[in-house]
Chains A and B, each alone.
Chain A
Amino acid sequence: MITESRPRTLAARALNALGSTPLSRRKALWGLALIAPNTLGLFFFFGIPVLMAFSTSVQEWNAIKPPRFVGLDNFERLISDDKFAQALTNTLKLIALAVPLEVLLALGVAVLLNLPLRGRNLLRTAYFLPVVTSTVAASVVWTSILQPRYGIVSRLLEPVGLGETKWLVEPGLVLIPIAAVAIWQRLGFDMIIFLAGLQSIPGELYEAARIDGAGRWGRFRHVTLPMLSPTTFLVVVLAVINSFQIFDQVYIMTLRTVPGGVSGSATTLTYFLYRRAFTHSEFGYASAIALVLFALILFVTVFQLTIQRYWVYYEAEEG
């Protein structure tokens, strides 16, 4: 019967895919019409530029003179460019600094705010506030908070002799405040995901664990953590991707001292890419950097997807 109902032309097949009855087809068309503006916008302002990045990456183009095909020169240059290596190292350092701390803190806050505390909704909102605050505004405020001598952080650290610390200038320190602000800004979002995950854990499991004699830590270790692992996986993947793309904090927090950090110490891959494109007018080279960044993120994400079966526990699999 299936063969009979299979439509012959492509158009008919497409129409059929929308639904089997005229009514459901009309509904589906409505749906398509409603998502069309967004999809078209995404295609023209995101899809096409992404595709163009591929062709630009094999060209030399300063945005004014006609582009010139240079083959893989841009990628060859990347390999021997010390500044690219530095930007990559800085980005990896930021990931190492930010991701574990961000995930642990978000989990801790979520677990605490999942307890029946008084005013927990207010606290949840407070933790979420940085997420909806403009990164630029937040970074400007943090810049003054971190100022040596005059900033609040310096005042607080004065008793331990760190009042004169040049957080945003010292090449060895500058990634710490950038990671801290990035964590501070993403914590609320991660917390919400964790909270949703926590609330979907059935209460019977805790009850059963308690009957079996599990203490507070035991319940957390053997019920919460495994049940939460799909959520944790999602949070980790997103945190890694976001850390790869840290830009605003670097741009704003180093703007008033040395843009990109002294000797490039705060330059991340995205910031490096931006400078090559918009300061040095090397759009071909910048596109090559963008593609490498894309490949890196893709690789890391696929890697995470591969190893998840060793630690992520999906309820359905147990049947």
Chain B
Amino acid sequence: MNTRKVTLLLVVLLSLVLALPAHAQEEPVIKPLPCEEPGKLTMWVWDEAWAAIIGDSIEAWKAEYCPGAEVDIQVQTWANYWDLLKTNAAGGELPDVFNMSQPFFFFYADNDVVLNLQPYWDEFGVDTTIWGSGLIDPYRWGEAGDLYAAPVNWDTIAIFYNKDMFDAAGLAYPTADWTWDDFAEYAAALTDPDAGVWGAAVYAEYQAGYPNWIAATGETPVVDAARTDCTLDNPGSLEALNFLKGLLDAGYMPTVSEAGGASPNDAFNLFASGKLAMVAGGSWMLPQALSDLTFNWDIVQLPKHPETGRSRSIVHAVGYVASARTANPDLAANLILYLASDEGQKFFAEGGSVAPANPSPAIQQMWIDSFGETAVNIQAFVDATVDSQGVTPFDEIWDVMNSELVVKIFDLGMSVEDAVAETCDAINAELQ
């Protein structure tokens, strides 16, 4: 090997070693800016715990970037949130800043009641592509794909598995490189009808269920991003659903009735009671899993589709949006910038449970560390954000694809083809 090559290699290596940590630790991904003029804002959130965390970060914003500003945070519980928001929008009395959920954004954007934040992102110099695509794509609107929200958090899906059961069956623990074929083999090996143990339950509901498997084939699950076409009858969707139905028919997965309900929580309870070896679960299950599970367990990314080689998690990010009719658009945008910045997101990272949307590795590590000493591979959830799929279905079609399709295929024994034909009929009636 000649010296020039060695030198070049050394330089490359050295620059990598120097650049990575320096970038991760010192340079914030999003920097807050001082507000131009303080004023009064109202803000709605639907969760008490979130309100407390956001309240702390707003105090810091007021102290360091916007002295004299006032923010009135109101908690409207989830059960009432959307009805209240709709009626307030009707009365033209929306809060200045409020939390938004991806499947609901469509309606509010379509009715011109949320503020376009893209001019502010441009003005603040924020490159919106830093966020994982699944986090923000559902909050883009208009021909130019303007970003109307700042993501607050992310939720991804991974497989929780019972290590004791793997040990008993003499199986090696799965790694992030496993494929659907491996998954099927494990599910078969871990199923024990005599003990009432199923190998896996991974189909239930939109976010934790079958759409993750459709996404891995490269298909956008349920409806395309433009919301013009039901994708459930496309080849990728049929392949994923038939793969899951095959595991059910072979007896490796419980039916909806056997799981005790159509919610992924029902499957998780089965997992917690030692009746299930592998379950698909969201990152929001971590606090409960860490405190409740009485056996050895770990987390692994969803298995990869054998041909595409992709493991794709559905991701949902709550967003901060501003009202299109706010009296203080500049101030609202400045507050949202702060809440999305590294400084503002620190409060979520330290609080644990809610994973902060800000992609800074330091912030993400802070979130992982907030769970304390644990052997559990929490990083799997962070890794799942990279190739992720945002939520494209919306309120009007939610039930038909979230629970009805699942019940038809995985409880009533309907064939995948018949079930998706009916579901697509119902969905197409709402797409115009």
Contacts and interface: CB of A to CB of B under 8 A. Distances in A.
A64 B86 contact: yes
A257 B262 contact: yes
Contact of A169 (B83, B107, B111, B412): B412
B344 to A, nearest CB: 30
Contacts of A257: 256, 261-262, 403, 407
10 contacts: A64-B90, A147-B260, A149-B257, A166-B257, A256-B262, A257-B262, A257-B403, A258-B399, A258-B403, A262-B407
Given A64-B89, A257-B407, A258-B407, A279 B412 contact: no
A279 B422 contact: no
B404 A262 contact: yes
Interface in A276-291: 278-281
Contacts of B113: 64
A85 to B, nearest CB: 15
A281 B396 CA distance: 9
Given A63-B90, A64-B89, A262-B412, A148 B257 contact: yes
A158 interface: no
Contacts of A281: 86, 107
Interface in B410-426: 411-412, 422
Counting chain A CB atoms within 10 Å of each CB, the highest count among B87, B256, B257, B263 belongs to B257
Contacts, number: 60
Contacts of A62: 111
A260 B90 CA distance: 26
A170 B263 CA distance: 17
Interface footprint category on A: 20 to 34
A258 B404 contact: yes
A20 B156 CA distance: 77
Given A147-B260, A263-B422, A170 B396 contact: no
B395 interface: yes
A65 B112 CA distance: 9
Interface residues of B, number: 27
B227 interface: no
B411 A64 contact: no
B408 interface: yes
A65 B407 contact: no
A150 interface: yes
B90 A279 contact: no
Interface in B375-413: 395-396, 398-399, 403-404, 407-408, 411-412
A136 to B, nearest CB: 11
B78 to A, nearest CB: 14
Interface in A106-143: none
Contact of B87 (A63, A65, A263, A280): A63
B305 to A, nearest CB: 28
Given A64-B89, A263-B422, A278-B83, 6 more contacts: A166-B257, A169-B411, A256-B261, A258-B262, A260-B399, A263-B404
B54 to A, nearest CB: 26
Contacts of A177: none
Interface string A80-115: 000000000000000000000000000000000000
A147 B111 CA distance: 41
B70 interface: no
A64 B83 contact: no
A256 B263 CA distance: 7
A259 interface: yes
B181 interface: no
Contact of A63 (B86, B395, B404, B430): B86
A150 B395 CA distance: 31
Which 4 pairs across A and B sit closest by C-beta, in order of nearness? A63-B90, A148-B257, A64-B111, A258-B404
Given A169-B411, A258-B404, A258-B407, A63 B89 contact: yes
Interface string A44-72: 00000000000000000011110000000
Nearest to B411: A169
B258 interface: yes
Contacts of B404: 258, 262-263
Nearest to A150: B260
A148 B257 CA distance: 6
Interface in B196-248: none
Given A64-B90, A64-B111, A279 B395 contact: yes
Nearest to A151: B260
Nearest to B113: A64
A65 B92 CA distance: 10
Interface in B293-338: none
A85 B324 CA distance: 40
A164 B90 CA distance: 46
Contacts of B407: 169, 257-258, 262
Contacts of A170: 412
Contact of A262 (B89, B257, B260, B408): B408
A169 B411 CA distance: 9
A180 B147 CA distance: 50
Contacts of B107: 281
A147 B408 CA distance: 17
B396 A279 contact: yes
